[in-house]
Amino acid sequence: MIRGYADSRCWPEISKIIKMKNPPVPFATIAEILYAADNRELASDTFCKVSDKELRVDLLLDFQFWAAAMEEICKTRQHEDYEEILFDSA
């Protein structure tokens, strides 16, 4: 369903699903589909909805959403956990 919406660029339909409290597909999966469909902005926003703090940051880093990852690291106070990764890649 979501892949079909992404393939046909039905962003409003996908946005409705993302706004659900419990979407039929995990937010991480939706974000990966959006990323593959080249909608980086919506993908980044959707990764930020992943409930697991560590997974959220890891996904943002894996998909190179650096600014969003930094915001999440600061919000969740995970500075020490990611200090090595951030300074090694700089």
Mean pLDDT confidence for 47-75 = 93
Is the pLDDT score of 35 beyond 80? yes
68-88 pLDDT, tens digit per residue, is: 998 998 888 876 766 666 656
| ∠ CA 76-81-82, rounded to 5° | 90
The pLDDT value recorded for residue 18 is: 95
In contact, 39 and 72? CB cutoff 8 Å: no
Task: State residue 1's pLDDT score.
Answer: 82
Neighbours of 38 (CB within 10 A): 9
DSSP letter, residue 23? -
Confidence of residue 2 (pLDDT cuts 50, 70, 90): confident
Which pTM value belongs to this model? 0.84
* Structure-token pair, residue 23: 């979407």
Q: Quick one: pLDDT at residue 85? A: 64
